[in-house]
Amino acid sequence: HATAFSIIFHKDMYVSMPDKVGSRISNLFSITGIEGRVIGKPFKEIDWEKTDQKIMEARQVSISHLKKIIGE
């Protein structure tokens, strides 16, 4: 949750990749285009404008899918 809130509120963060949720964090980073924020990897600045755009695109895909499922 902290990683998601950090992205939403544009806060710099570093995360560890525990076995149980590492794939979820990797997927979140993939969707948002964020790389290099894992502890032990090289630091990379986050382009928040690009990240916000990718989140909006993913949100639209999700909304479209949900509307299709419920028949709208």
* Cα three-residue angle 52-32-70, rounded to 5 degrees: 85
SS3 49: helix
Q: Which pTM does this prediction carry?
A: 0.79
Q: How confident is the model at residue 7 (pLDDT cuts 50, 70, 90)?
A: very high
pLDDT at 57 over 90: yes
Domain that holds residue 34: 2-70
Give Dmax over CA atoms of the chain in angstroms. Answer: 46
pLDDT digits (tens, 9 = 90+) for 9-49: 999 998 888 777 778 888 999 999 998 788 888 888 999 99
Judge contact between 28 and 37, C-beta under 8 A: no
Q: For residues 49 and 47, what is the distance between their CA atoms, to the nearest angstrom?
A: 6
pLDDT at 51: 96
- Domain count for the chain, please give it: 1
